[in-house]
Structure 1
Amino acid sequence: MSDDDNSPISARTAKQLFAALKSAPALVLAVSGGPDSVALMWLAARWRRSLARGPLLTVVTVDHGLRPEAAREAREVKRLAAELGLPHRTLRWRGVKPKTGLPAAAREARYRLLAEAARKAGASHVLTAHTRDDQAETLLMRMLRGSGLAGLSAMAGLTERDGVVLTRPLLDVPKSQLVATLRRAKIGFAEDPTNRDTAFTRPRLRALLPQLAAEGGDVRSLARLAGRLARANAAVEVLTDGAERFLRLRDRDDAPHGPAARSFEARAFAGLPEEVRLRILLRAIDALGHEGPAELGKVETLLSALDQALAAGPRAAANGRAILKQTLAGALISLAGGRISITPAPARRSRRDFKGG
């Protein structure tokens, strides 16, 4: 961003933010009523008016049914959308809410509803208002949870979900700029009290950011780190693609193939870098298992067991007897005859099965 972090976003900068979306048929804007999403709506509407032809914009607000103020905030978003000449829909997350893991469940419900709205509107993309601040907080959360390189890459600018592309055009924009933009335009916005509720992890980490900034770990530095990790992660993904092609070339003609099995020479696999081997296993387990996605820590344990089995059991591996057989995330992983094979695991038998129905 060339604009100062505390200055309103200029029309020129806004044009750059949305330039890649100019040829999209229609876009859905996810707007909750908070400053970030209201700024997204205002900037997108201004950008769209500057085009002779451009995508149709539809504003969607998701009411999670968790706060009594949410309905009023949705009505306010609808009013502002109408002033900007944009159609608006409010979608509600209905049903029983979980007692634990509520933020994650609400996020899943929100994205599901937004994807449904996009399909109905004929939109190719859903735009969310995640900012540089959100990126820094996400990186911190994942660091504390011990995420791998892919997780530490934090949020991507573009991700596909349920046949719709999630787009985060403001990911390199500080929240302070969005607030300054709304103040310059004299546009009001709501403040979600859950953003300050220390019962949740993200608000607790947000409160620590000033202390981290004093030590040099400000939002800009953390977001830059996430970007560098994303760059490294993309490079490892390319290496993993190449390693999978290498293993297929080394495959025997009589090895099991097809969508129901993956198999490769154990020794060729063992010669690959550890991170690449982990990703190959993750991909195979997630593709063939029926209880995924697999947890990184459990795949790390599996890889360690495979390495130990290869080191300790060359004779057993040579005579075809399985020296390792393990299920993980609904996939069956075995080492036998010098090969590693991943297939779908048999379905778990319920207690009713054992009782004869």
Structure 2
Amino acid sequence: MKAFVVDKYKKKGALRLTNMPEPRLQDDDVLVRIQAAGVNLLDSKIRDGEFKLLLPYRPPFVLGHDVAGTVVQTGSRARRFKVGDQVYARPRDHRVGAFAEFIAIDEADVALSPKNLSPTEAASIPLVGLTAWQALVEVAKVKRGQKVFIQAGSGGVGTFAIQLAKHLGATVATTTSTTNVELVKSLGADVVIDYKTQDFEKLLSGYDLVLNSQDPKTLEKSLRVLKRGGQLISISGPPDPAFAKAFGLNPFLKLVMRLLSRSVRKKAAKLGVRYSFLFMRAEGRQLGEITALIEAGVIRPVVDKVFPFEETPAALAYVETGRAKGKVVIAVAE
């Protein structure tokens, strides 16, 4: 099969198009012929080597954390899906590889694609959808009437999280650039802050939750917009001891995570708020819940650009510019 591979960890390193063996099917797997793949900043960070202590991949390996396609084979113990099913998934860590023609995925990570979405639209959903779901529903347990601040509202996670938070009954504030104000309003944002001309810290206060996806300076400011007892969930770091324990890291890495997050945890405690780091995980059942919301019209995908498969490196470079509105997708096959 054709695939784009990373030959070695290198910042801005090139992806190489090559022929790879088709994935070997394990007993609980489904083999999916990929029709479309979502592109995420996580892909470039893994290629650059930023996560190699946590997620070591042995080059050459295939990138890609979002997939939509058709089941063409099932493992001996796989029961949830049949050949011909249209599915989508965020494959689990150490088994990613959506920038290819085929992928084998544990069926526990897979869900039926929303019937009202094309494969390119479906491929835009899994990683950002699960990130928002696990932050807002699973960890924060957002309730009607709460105030939620979602940073970078026009980005991949932001466009999904705004819609989910509104569905949960929250009042939603977000940051974006002037050109994207109408987009985030159309998704349901109640308070829109133009980060180029306004300071969110001066305009927001008494928030129950912040979903942080930005730099350390923005994180520190975000702690101060929370009410006492509020919570900040960061998807951009720093990792904390609870994450290190859940991820099963060795004692040295647990110590590193403790040191990395010590400053922000102390500042949060002083303000009477909670800090936690979220590294989303693959979860087909949650993705099924998301499918239901999409089919009900509660959430719609936001796709900026669709690149042909042969332009996968250009798609990744575009994501790295930070200018995408919503998601960038690769059309792998008809």
- TM-score, scaled to structure 2: 0.31
Of structures 1 and 2, the larger Rg is shown by 1
- Greater helix proportion: 1
